[in-house]
Structures are given as structure tokens and as C-alpha cells.
């Protein structure tokens, strides 16, 4: 649907009513609505008649290109875009999974993804969320570890606490990797960013 048709319908006008009001022919309005770009006098007349700016009537360059392309090139373009997204998604998954080998060591679990982010020059919001979550866990884990020590529950409880915290971090990393693969978004994320 062209921008002219959207505006005309919003103003509750038929093509005939717009033609009569603007002094243009119905055929001219039909051509513009089917994709022809209005120019000069026609553009100014329609803009004044509909009380909109001239730029509101112009179909965007992207829309014009899509209308000009045949179905085969649209499919090729779409598949190229999908491949680019998959490549980006692969880098995001690599950065997420890079925390896995160091999930037991709270400081290193965010350093490797942070270094990868800087090296690969990937600063998307989703990558910042992955690293922010690991930084948050790197802050929380030592605090919980110290609480277990101060409670003096014994060496076994401290060991079990470390194992549980490490397994929780591994689960978070793997669950986020699964969600990235299936839904292209994170399952566990913070409501704020630390980066």
C-alpha cells in the first residue's frame, strides 16, 4: 500500500473525491497509489490538498526497490540477510559459551567473553547482556561463598556451595545458548547493563 493510499484512507476519501478536491485525474491518483512517484506540481497539489508534507507522500527508497525487484531477487536478498544474522548469532553464541570453561572461577568467567567482544568488535546489546550477567555472577559468587564460610557450616557445605554455584553458572550459560539457538534471545538476562 503506497503512502498516498494510506493518507487518503486515513482522511476517509475515495480516489474520486481526492481527484475532485485536488483537480488531478483519478488515473493520476491510481498511478501514484500503484507505485509511481509524484513529482513537481502533482506532489505539491496532493500535499496541500491532504494537508501533509511532500515527504509524507513519497514512497521510501526501500519500498521502491522492493517493488522493482522480481520475486527471485527478493528471495536471494532475504536469504543473504538471514545468513548475515546467522553469522552474527554464531559469534554471540561463541561469546556466550566462552564463559563455560571458566564458570568455576568467578573472575575469569567474564574476562574471556569481554576480550572476545573487543577483539571481534561485536558490541551489540545482547553481548553486553551476556557479559553483564557474568560480571554480576562474579560479584555474587564470592559474596555467597563468604556467607557460607562465616556461617561455619563446615568444609562440606562450602564445597557443596561452590559446586552448586558453578553448576548454576553452567546451567545459565547453556540455557542462554539454547535460547539463542531456538529464539535468538537470552533466557537469563539482567534488567540493566553493567557495560
Position 171 scores a pLDDT of 92
In a domain, 191, yes or no: no
- Ranges of residues in the chain with a pLDDT under 50 are 1, 60-87
Contact criterion met (CB below 8 Å) for 49 and 18: yes
Q: How many domains does the chain have?
A: 2
Residue among 26, 40, 32, 39 nearest 7 (CA): 32
Position 59 scores a pLDDT of 54
Residues 63 and 91 reside in one and the same domain: no
Position 93 scores a pLDDT of 84
48-58 as b/e, with b when 16 or more CB fall inside 10 Å?
ebbebeeeebb
Position 63 scores a pLDDT of 47
In a domain, 96, yes or no: yes
Three cell numbers, residue 132: 553483564
CA angle in degrees (0–180, nearest 5) for 128-131-137: 140
Which one-letter DSSP state was computed for residue 188? S
Residue-number span of the structural domain to which 129 is assigned = 85-183
Amino acid at each position: 500500500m503506497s503512502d498516498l493510499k494510506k493518507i487518503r484512507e486515513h482522511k476517509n476519501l475515495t480516489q474520486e473525491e481526492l481527484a475532485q478536491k485536488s483537480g488531478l485525474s483519478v488515473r493520476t491518483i491510481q498511478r501514484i497509489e500503484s507505485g509511481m512517484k509524484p513529482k513537481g506540481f502533482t506532489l505539491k497539489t496532493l500535499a496541500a490538498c491532504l494537508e501533509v508534507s511532500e515527504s509524507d507522500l513519497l514512497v521510501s527508497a526501500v519500498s521502491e526497490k522492493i517493488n522493482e525487484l522480481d520475486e527471485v531477487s527478493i528471495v536471494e536478498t532475504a536469504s543473504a540477510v538471514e545468513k548475515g544474522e546467522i553469522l552474527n548469532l554464531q559469534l554471540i553464541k561463541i561469546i556466550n559459551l566462552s564463559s563455560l570453561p571458566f564458570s568455576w572461577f568467578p573472575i575469569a568467567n567474564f574476562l574471556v567473553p569481554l576480550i572476545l567482544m573487543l577483539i571481534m568488535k561485536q558490541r551489540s546489546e545482547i553481548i553486553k547482556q551476556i557479559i553483564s550477567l557474568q560480571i554480576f555472577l562474579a560479584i555474587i559468587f564470592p559474596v555467597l561463598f563468604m556467607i557460607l564460610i562465616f556461617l561455619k557450616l563446615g568444609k562440606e557445605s562450602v564445597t557443596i556451595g561452590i559446586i552448586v554455584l558453578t553448576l548454576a553458572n553452567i546451567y545459565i550459560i547453556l540455557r542462554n545458548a539454547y535460547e539463542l539457538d531456538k529464539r535468538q534471545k537470552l533466557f537469563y538476562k539482567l534488567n540493566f547493563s553493567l557495560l
